[in-house]
Amino acid sequence: MHSFHAVILGIVEGVSEFLPISSTGHLILSARILNIPQTDFVKSFEIIIQLGAILSVIVLYFKTLVKDLRIIKRLCAAFVPTGIIGYLLYKLVKKFLIGNVSVVFWSLLLGGVFIILFELIHREKSDATDDMSCITYPQAILIGLFQVLAIIPGVSRSAATIIGGLICGLKRKTIVEFSFLLAIPTMLAATILDLSKNAASFSSQEFVVLAIGFITSFVVALLAIKFLLAFIQKHSFIAFGVYRVLIALLFLLTMGLS
């Protein structure tokens, strides 16, 4: 894996991490298009560079995190299901799911159809929660359970948590921002877990590649977050659902499944 690959994958990660299109799925498909073998390092790379995108959230929402302890408590509650289930299934996911093109294809396709149908049916209530600090703990835990679905490559952590929040009765902007913040403990834990198990096997060149991907995803994610916040003011997620279906079908037609 070369520095050029790290830049491309960093851009893909930065763009897709917070959009409901699955960053992991896009990284796997991009690696396949670039003919990058799914080695253990590449699988770790696809996990670790997501932390670069998460750093952009910390930068943009630092004041919110520092000033409001109530939000941090709710983020902790939402993280509990992901932390427990993610830890228990880590080996299974990395060995059999990450890099599995068939899983990514079906997740993108079915997820896209679900988003379209959900947006056509969903109606936001006038009394929907519009403040992250007012999210109840049961709502936070349920959102965390939805996030667990994202251990399946292609599902999209962002889509799962946002839809979960909308079902729980949150306003769109509120759950989108909560989803941004929930990515912090989730991806931090995933990165620490992966590094603890694999960092000793990385070469110095591989650490350089990781750093390039990390920095690239951070910069691009800053722009992606601002885009999504502006987008949701006037649009639903139907366009993202259509995009997921199209990219899944395009990949099927051009590359096939293994």
- 3-class secondary-structure state, position 170: strand
Average pLDDT of the chain, as a whole number: 89
pLDDT at residue 112 in the model:
96
- What whole-number distance in Å separates Cα of residue 47 and Cα of residue 212? 14
Q: Is the pLDDT of residue 99 over 70?
A: no
Cβ contacts of residue 16 below 8 Å, gap of 6+?
Answer: 22, 23, 26, 27, 224
Segment among 21-25, 111-115, 154-158, 221-225 with least mean pLDDT: 21-25
Using 50, 70 and 90 to split pLDDT, how confident is the model at 75?
Answer: very high
- What whole-number distance in Å separates Cα of residue 48 and Cα of residue 191? 5
Q: What is the pLDDT of residues 117-143, one digit of tens each?
A: 999 999 988 889 999 999 999 999 999
- What whole-number distance in Å separates Cα of residue 187 and Cα of residue 54? 7
- What whole-number distance in Å separates Cα of residue 139 and Cα of residue 164? 9
One-letter amino acid for residue 131 of the chain: D
Specify which residues 170 forms β-bridges with: 129
Q: By C-alpha distance, which of 189, 217, 190 is closest to 18?
A: 217
- What whole-number distance in Å separates Cα of residue 200 and Cα of residue 48? 14
Cα within 13 Å of Cα(39), Cβ side: 11
Q: By C-alpha distance, which of 154, 144, 149, 183 is closest to 21?
A: 154
Using 50, 70 and 90 to split pLDDT, how confident is the model at 255?
Answer: low
**Annotated domain spans of the chain:** 3-255
Structure tokens, 204: 């110095």
pLDDT at residue 151 in the model:
86
Sign, CA torsion 86/64/240/222: negative
Using 50, 70 and 90 to split pLDDT, how confident is the model at 253?
Answer: confident
Q: What is the pLDDT of residues 185-225, one digit of tens each?
A: 888 887 888 888 888 888 889 899 999 999 999 999 999 99
CA 172 distance to own-chain centroid = 17
